[in-house]
Structure 1
């Protein structure tokens, strides 16, 4: 059974990458017999490379994607440097989960309503007597600065969460004590001792953030520039053109995006190698005689990442009930529930589709992840980490375009099947990584003891290991459902527009429709992950308490059995 799950995981989550690449390589050479393109040629490459504004789109992509990753990584390191192992860190750690629970699309809509030229902050400025006509607007600015800042703010909590286990793995307390004993200041010890060990272990999370920033579509449609757009948006526009003979040009664009992403990732790895393996003199140059700080203080740097989500959610809530809200009034002059009543029927249908997709994909990915982890524990052979992380670093637009072309080989309209499969493809890495730590820390001697007492392998897993793992399983399930809920491109591309979710509708409505309706969809899209995480935390706590009570009961029963009679006081 474990071997079957292991093989099924490879078939479902690894093999699709191959047809995904082939599916964009073949159309790029203008060979699509179904469309009458029977002779391969390079005309699509010429058409794509000569497109006006392609170079500007690539520069915008590099600026927003690389810039947001550098900012997020820097902010994360400064926050850790200033707050780790302090009373402030406990408060920050409690704030990470709510910030992560807010989906990217809901955050982008709230960010737009807050920082647009008629947004809430501009209303505050006008009330304070500041002329906002000359102020720089962060929404759809021609330089992509607003998109870069929004991505940096949204991704920093993710890097902070990933850093928690990394700092425990490198034995931070011992390293800090040794560095202090050698005369290093606090900032120097973080720069010369902690950073060279923290950054390599954070490689995969940082690469995932970098790849997402370079290929993001949903947030870029809401916050990014439009003339010209980023490269991912440009390829998405090519892909949606009604003239099907232009598919080869879209395939070339997907290849350019793929090459660009892997080129930037390779450059990032080369820079890391040069700084930490070749030019290492700065690491062992000894403590500085000067007492100045090497980094700016990050004590209060976490407030922007806390306050922005705190601000955008109330702004969405107010907009969803606003009937009349003139600029520069701070609050609406009239309120109404008409828009909620107007959208109630479609909201129920969209929420049902979203929850069904989230439950199905997260449960399938959970079974596959547990099967792979059990296979690794039993046979000491698991799926390589780079293969698991590959769907996280490959641009979704590139691989999904190829997969959709491959699905044309199958007859029938199985849109739900393809969408669930695509969600599993992107949910599985997060679920696997979320369960990897608990599975590694599990004491395998408990299984051996259970088997020695006569339990079968399945009974030992169900009665001994499962209760101990249930808190982690519940939280991983919430992570998987939240990741599924946020999937925009897989639902749009493989669903062919026939499957609508809260995310797809929120993105569509955010690009020019009524702000009240956009606020409703953004608010509900952000509410579902919060419900998932709340239920998971409650279930995790209840399962942990039940496991402890069961262990105490079994311990008492065992004592009675050994003594031959019950204990009486």
Structure 2
């Protein structure tokens, strides 16, 4: 049974790649027999190359995508350096899940309502007497600055979350203790000792962030530049042309986007290798006084070093530093936290004149107007999310169990493909392939596409729990007469259950945020909260946009909260105390806790 599940997961990861690549390359070279294009050629590439404003669109994509990735990386490293292993970090860590729960579309809508020329920030400035008539707008600005900042703020919590197991694996407290004994300051220790080890280990999450920034469509439609647009939005406009004979142009553009993303990721990999492996003098020169001045160029913020929670690393010179505040991290909490109130107020605002801080009249008319549509769209969204997440959970568990038994698992490059390949490029070829299959199976194609993108996230969420599981517990339970199924259900399942519950919440959140797979493979016939939110945010009434953005942002947060409560209740009823792995292992193996 496990072998069958593993094969199904392997097919799930491989099958979309074959039609995705073939269905992209052949139309790009003008070979599309159903439309009469039977002679391969380069005419589509010629049209794309000579398209007015193509160079500006490429530069905008690089500036917003690569710039947001670099900013998010700098923000992440600075926050880790400032707060890791401190009291402030424990409070910061509790905010990561709510920040990650908010989809990009809901965040973009709230970001636009907050920082648009008539948003709350400008209203507040006008209230305190600062004129904003000539102020630069960050929403749909021609340079993409607002979009770059929004993506950087949204992706920083993701990189922080991915850095937690990496830094735990590196045992940073010991590294900092040794570096301090050699005369390094706190900042020098992080820059020269920890950063060269941390950066290669978060390569995959960073690549995922960069690929998303280069190819994002939904966020760019809401807050991105419009004249010219980013390359992904330009290709999306080509794809939506009513004349099907123009599909080769869209395919050539999608292939160009794929090549641009691949070259950008290659450039990032080369820069990482040059910084960490090639140019080592800055790591090996030692803690010298003159180096301290040169390291100032690498500092993003000047801040006091934290007091470590570890007893082994508490230099007396830092004893006066306070770590209870989260001054560096507050923008990454404040902006997402303000998004929900802004959307909630706009959804019931009937009259809200500028520069009033609050509406002068309220009404539920727009909720009453949209309530029936909301129920239908929410039902579609939740059905797809639950179906794809539960299926992905079964496939991920089967793959991890197969790896544990045979020491052979899915290749990491295969799992990472949906994360780093632009959705627009991959889905274009998949959609072309679905045209060749008779029948209108739109719901099935959308479900398949959601499952394809949900599975990697859920697999990576469960991977840590399976790797940290002590296999000796299985051996002990089998020696006591339990079957394989009884061992898994009574011994292993309680220990990995928190990760499974959280993985389902992650999968639901990922599915609810899918815009391009639903639009492209659903052919506009499968509508969800996300597709409607993006459509309404492009120029409809702000109140209706706020309603859909609020619902789209609240659903993932509800499931994350439900997962957190379920884990806490499960731990309480099973143990009567907070869950600790060592106590659970002793109870299972020895029959009683081990007291020292």
Which residue does 1:567 correspond to in 2? none
Cα shift at 1:549: 6.5
TM-score, length-scaled by structure 2: 0.92
Q: 1:18-97 counterparts in 2 under 5 A?
A: 18-97=18-97
For 2:411 and 2:39, locate their aligned partners in 1 and report how far apart those are by CA, in whole Å: 39
Deviations 1:489-539, CA, capped at 9 Å, x for gaps: 000000110011100000000000000000000001111011100111111
Matched, 1:297 2:315: no
Structure 2 counterpart of 1:378 = 405
Counterparts of 1:134 and 1:252 in 2: how far apart (Å)? 41
Cα pair 1:364 1:424 within 8 Å, conserved: yes
1:152 aligns with 2:164: no
Whole-angstrom CA distance in 2 between matches of 1:519 and 1:525? 10
Q: CA deviation at 1:15?
A: 2.5
Q: Which residue of 2 aligns with 1:523?
A: 550
Distance 1:14 1:73 in 2: 31
Q: In 2, Cα distance between the equivalents of 1:458 and 1:488? A: 39
Deviating above 4 A after TM superposition, structure 1's stretches of 4 or more consecutive aligned residues are 290-293, 549-552, 554-560
- Aligned with 2:283: secondary structure? coil
Deviations 1:196-241, CA, capped at 9 Å, x for gaps: 0000001000000000000000000001001110000000000000
The answer (yes or no) to whether the contact 1:78–1:297 under 8 Å persists in 2 is no
Listed as ranges, the matches of 1:206-221 within 5 Å are: 206-221=206-221
Q: Equivalents in 2 of 1:528, 1:148: separation in Å?
A: 25
Tell me the alpha carbon deviations over residues 36-92 of structure 1, each in whole angstroms, 9 at most, x when there is no partner.
Answer: 112111111111111100000000000000000000000000001011111111111
Structure 1 Cα separation of the partners of residues 33 and 429 of structure 2: 16
Corresponding position: 1:10 with 2:7: no
Task: Answer yes or no: is the 8 Å Cα contact 1:322–1:336 preserved in 2.
Answer: yes
The corresponding residue for 1:469 is 496
In structure 1, list runs of 5 or more residues that go unmatched.
561-569
- Asked if 1:165 is matched to 2:165, the reply is yes
Aligned partner of 2:307 in structure 1 is none
Distance 1:380 1:217, change over 3 A: same
Find out whether 1:271 has 2:271 as its counterpart.
Answer: yes
The Cα of 1:406 is off from its aligned counterpart by: 0.8
Closer/same/farther in 2, CA of residues 535 and 559 from structure 1, 3 Å limit? closer
Q: Report the equivalent of 1:429.
A: 456
Q: In the alignment, what sits opposite 2:575?
A: 548
Q: How far does residue 288 in structure 1 lie from its aligned partner after superposition?
A: 2.6
Aligned pairs, number: 559
Structure 2 segments unaligned to the other structure (5+ residues): 304-325, 578-582
Q: Determine the structure 1 residue equivalent to 2:580.
A: none
Q: Are the counterparts in 1 of residues 473 and 588 from structure 2 also a CA contact under 8 Å?
A: no
Q: Shift of the alpha carbon at 1:320?
A: 0.3
- Per the alignment, residue 187 of structure 2 pairs with 187
Partner-residue secondary structure (3-state), 1:282 = helix
Q: What is the CA–CA distance in structure 2 between the aligned matches of 1:279 and 1:559, rounded to whole Å?
A: 54
**Partners of 2:125 and 2:186 in 1: how far apart?**
39
* Structure 2: distance between partners of 1:508 and 1:303: 31
Shift in CA distance, 259/559, structure 1 to aligned 2, threshold 3 Å:
closer
What is aligned with 1:410?
437
Task: Provide TM-score, normalisation by structure 1.
Answer: 0.96
Instruction: Tell me which of 462, 468, 480 is aligned to 2:507.
Output: 480
Match in the other structure for 2:475 = 448
Mapped partners of 1:557, 1:472: distance in 2: 22
Aligned residue for 1:238? 238
| Structure 1 range deviating more: 189-198 or 306-315 | 306-315
1:337 to partner: Cα distance: 0.3
User: Is the 2:16–2:430 Cα contact (8 Å) retained in structure 1?
Assistant: yes
Q: Hey, what's the Cα distance between the residues in 1 that align with 2:36 and 2:588?
A: 77
Q: Find the aligned partners of 1:350 and 1:444 in 2 and give their Cα distance.
A: 44
| Structure-2 separation of matches of 1:218 and 1:334 | 31
- Superposition CA RMSD, Å: 1.8
Q: Aligned-pair distance for 1:454?
A: 2.1
- Corresponding position: 1:358 with 2:385: yes
Question: Contact between 1:468 and 1:547, CA under 8 Å: does it hold in 2?
Answer: no
Q: Provide the C-alpha distance between the structure 2 equivalents of 1:481 and 1:559, rounded to a whole number of angstroms.
A: 37
Deviates more, 1:499-508 or 1:289-298: 289-298
Structure 1 residue aligned with 2:251: 251
The offset of 1:128, in angstroms, is 1.7
Tell me the equivalent position of 1:565. Answer: none
